[in-house]
Amino acid sequence: MSDETPICSAKGCRAAAVWVLAWNNPKVHTPERRKTWLACEEHREHLSQFLGVRGFLKDVVAFDDWRAAEGA
């Protein structure tokens, strides 16, 4: 992996990201604002559940699809 390879947002994980978890905290962010966490295959479910139980999770998208939609 190079320094430019996106990595998973899970604490201590250095695996390549394959998922984008789009979220927002309605107490802090406007409804259209999307923050992102990146996830490897192993941590996708854990991070999704963490955001989901708080009502923050808005979407889970494959990293390559997210980049294509962003024009990267």
pLDDT digits (tens, 9 = 90+) for 14-44: 999 999 999 999 999 999 999 999 999 999 9
Mean pLDDT in residue range 42-69: 96
Helix (H, G, I), strand (E, B) or coil at 18: coil
How far apart CA 3 and CA 61 sit, in angstroms, is: 23
Q: What is the pLDDT of residues 52-62, one digit of tens each?
A: 999 999 999 99
Q: Are 22 and 45 in contact (CB under 8 A)?
A: no
pTM value is 0.88
Residue 71: per-residue pLDDT: 77
Q: State residue 62's pLDDT score.
A: 97
| Cβ–Cβ under 8 Å, residues 36 and 20 | yes
